[in-house]
Structure 1
Amino acid sequence: MRLVWQLLAVAAVAFAGSQVVSAVQGNPWLTLVSGAVTAVLTVITYRWVVRRTEQRPVTELSGPGAGRAVGRGVLAGVVLFGIVIANIALLGDYDVRGWGTAAGAVGLLGFMAAAAVSEELLFRGVLFRIVEERTGTVIALVLTGVLFGLVHLFNPHASLWGAIAIAIEAGGMLTAAYVATRRLWLPIGLHFGWNFAAAGLFGTEVSGNGTPQGLLDAVTSGPAVITGGSFGPEGSLYSVLFCSLGTTVFLWLAHRRGRLVPRRTRAERVDGVTTLAR
């Protein structure tokens, strides 16, 4: 039942916040504020419901070093997406027509903050963490990654390939970032940095959502396998390739740090001990 209660509590706050953000999206400053408030309230709700249902300190959202971890994640996300765009541009499939709007970028800061925090708390903080306890790291990563991709099929310009790409990229890399650190701050920053770079800086589509314009007025053209088509560069093979490399690096770090959880036997799940069933 803790899975149910945690999902319901976090999803309820995230949904309510997303409705407010959508309602004020025409005003960039209200979007920024409402997005930031949504992110903060979602974190508070997660802390509260996990403490109530699991009776433990919420170490995955511990305070010390949180700012540095988020900052590193944001930087990594921006750089990683920048590498994807650079490769698309080298083929002549990304063109900057001029400046977009600074106001649009401001609004996207709030919009992407709310999305990154709520999705990470739901998928990595609740779903992956609890599923991992029963199935181990690898199976939980695959299962929750597939689910994360399927959820994106409901986006306006979604495609099956886009959902598969998201499952590999975000479902893999963001989960691996959590496993490597056992804290949610790095994947939150990475998620936000990637999304904000895509829309707020480079002016491209994000997950087929019909994303508002950011700092640059830019277009992509050419084969969808390179540009991602109407789904955005997340559907590009470049994104799949570079995020897969990121997943590999994070899983290697997790292995070195002894943070991979093996699949437990039935006896271990039931008894909570490391003995096999007779």
Structure 2
Amino acid sequence: MINYRPKVFDEASKSHASKKLYAILLAFIVVMGIILILESIIPAIVSTKPMLEEMNENGYLENPDNFNFQESMKLAMKVSSSPSAMIPTLLSTIFGTVTAIFYCRCIEMRPVRSMGARKEGFFSHYITGIITGIILMSAITLLSVALGVNKIEICHGVNYKVIALYLLGFIVQGMSEEFIFRGYLMTTIGGAGYHTGIAVMISAVAFALAHAANPGFGVVPFINLTLFGVFAALHVVVFDNIWGICAIHSIWNFTQGNFYGISVSGSNNTESVFRTTAVSDKAFLTGGEFGIEGSIFTTLILSIGIASSIYLIYKRQQLQQKKQPSQE
């Protein structure tokens, strides 16, 4: 079995944290709890007034007995999906990046570069990641259209200023999730001496479970989110750098939501250049309420990406093995 170890694992091995897996996971749960609290402050502030207005408009303030859990979730989804709430929510994920860096640097006492955040090659990795993210999501979407599962229509009266703000928000959000699950969790596990496959899989499953509360979450979305987590982790392993996958993650979400007009992990539709709608009524093809990330087209494209990454890792491991005798 391939156990190619990137430099980030060696650098993360200098961590002062416990090397026991259960302790690493418990610490991660605590850190995630802190991140969730910090990331919820601004969204709660900006959503309070419009939520009260929606409740008043629907008569729930006068008749609170009618305001059940189901109705509250509908109103909350409506309010949170508006640009005035969604954009601040995306930008608030910067707390995830900051908290992950703070924990690794000040608690584990290891360098930030051990998270894959390297200065060298930043621009080239990020630009390549942007291109890769566009290609991946375009391949998924256009394949579904070519096979008659979805259809695409151009939107009129598009507010490109709002779309630009969404782009900024997704740049922050994609970076945050990568720093948390790959830059922090995966490298901590790998740095503790565990097999690369274990570090990859635990970080991928944790990433998928973090989306469990999203509307439409189910078996196929869970599988695909895990596959994305595996692909993201392997990308860091292959390139020993986090910036490329930060860009892929951000542009994957932006292209999906604000270019093709598809629900991003169960969120409502937002301002977009195109609007992609389902022709088929089969959820495993369209992704259903979760969006195209819950479709088998995503499963296929991510599986190809993972296979390509494993091949690159295998070739690098072979190259390492060839070099070892000459160094002795």
Q: Deviations over 1:113-154 (max 9, x none)?
A: 232122111111122122233431112222222222222221
State the distance in 2 between where 1:220 and 1:107 align. Answer: 27
Distance 1:35 1:64, change over 3 A: farther
State the distance in 2 between where 1:194 and 1:79 align. Answer: 9
1:161 to 220, 237, 240: 220
| Residue 175 of structure 1 pairs with residue 244 of structure 2 | no
AA aligned opposite 1:58:
V
AA aligned opposite 2:197:
V
State the distance in 2 between where 1:151 and 1:159 align. Answer: 13
Distance 1:103 1:17, change over 3 A: farther
State the distance in 2 between where 1:218 and 1:113 align. Answer: 22
Are the counterparts in 2 of residues 94 and 221 from structure 1 also a CA contact under 8 Å?
A: yes
Q: How many residues align?
A: 256
Distance 1:38 1:20, change over 3 A: same
2:275 to 190, 212, 217: 217
| Residue 52 of structure 1 pairs with residue 111 of structure 2 | no
Distance 1:250 1:164, change over 3 A: same
Are the counterparts in 2 of residues 146 and 167 from structure 1 also a CA contact under 8 Å?
A: yes
2:288 to 229, 233, 255: 229
Partner of 2:127: 71
Kindly report the root-mean-square deviation, in angstroms, between the aligned alpha carbons of the 2 structures. Answer: 2.9
Residue aligned with 2:201, SS: helix
| Residue 20 of structure 1 pairs with residue 42 of structure 2 | yes
Mean alpha-carbon deviation: is it higher for 182-191 or for 209-218? 209-218
Shift of 1:233: 1.0
Which structure has the larger Rg over C-alpha atoms? 2
| Residue 116 of structure 1 pairs with residue 163 of structure 2 | no
| Residue 196 of structure 1 pairs with residue 254 of structure 2 | yes
Distance 1:13 1:67, change over 3 A: farther
Mean alpha-carbon deviation: is it higher for 126-135 or for 222-231? 126-135
Distance 1:143 1:229, change over 3 A: same
Shift of 1:219: 1.2
State the distance in 1 between where 2:262 and 2:271 align. Answer: 8
State the distance in 2 between where 1:43 and 1:179 align. Answer: 19
2:141 to 85, 98, 106: 85
Shift of 1:109: 1.5
Q: Deviations over 1:227-247 (max 9, x none)?
A: 212111111111111111111
Shift of 1:53: 2.7
Residue aligned with 1:158, SS: coil
State the distance in 2 between where 1:9 and 1:233 align. Answer: 30
State the distance in 2 between where 1:152 and 1:104 align. Answer: 25
Residue aligned with 2:154, SS: strand
Shift of 1:209: 2.2
Mean alpha-carbon deviation: is it higher for 138-147 or for 7-16? 7-16
Unaligned ranges ≥5, structure 2: 1-16, 19-23, 48-79, 319-328
Partner of 1:137: 196
Unaligned ranges ≥5, structure 1: 260-278
State the distance in 2 between where 1:13 and 1:166 align. Answer: 20
Residue aligned with 1:203, SS: coil
1:102 to 153, 160, 168: 160
Are the counterparts in 2 of residues 157 and 230 from structure 1 also a CA contact under 8 Å?
A: yes
State the distance in 2 between where 1:18 and 1:78 align. Answer: 29
State the distance in 2 between where 1:63 and 1:36 align. Answer: 23
Distance 1:46 1:67, change over 3 A: farther
Distance 1:35 1:235, change over 3 A: closer
Partner of 1:248: 307
Residue aligned with 1:197, SS: helix
Shift of 1:36: 5.1
